[in-house]
Amino acid sequence: MNNVTIEKRIPIPAVSAPHVGRHPGSGCTWPFDKMEPGDSFQTDLKKRRGLELACRAYESNTGVKFVVAKYGDGIRCWRMI
């Protein structure tokens, strides 16, 4: 599992087109199953594509929705519902 810290109340930045993603449940390397609506975590920008694919797969299995966007010098993933 990636070493990331889940955080609360980090606002989603105003961007023209945030990438909305989803993710799978079993064998997941991201902490999606531990996140509540409004939680987020930040990781390296180079992991963006893998994170977005993981988010899409997780949503297709669970209905949970995420937003992934550039944040500072990395990317941040927010759980929406």
Task: Please report, for the chain, the start and end positions of each structural domain, with discontinuous segments joined by +.
Answer: 35-79
Q: Residue 2: its pLDDT value, please?
A: 74
Residues 9-62 have pLDDT tens digits of 888 776 544 444 444 444 568 999 999 999 999 999 999 999 999 999 999 989
Q: What is the pTM of this model?
A: 0.70
- Exposure b/e, 46-61, CB count within 10 A at least 16 = b: ebbeebbebbbbbbee
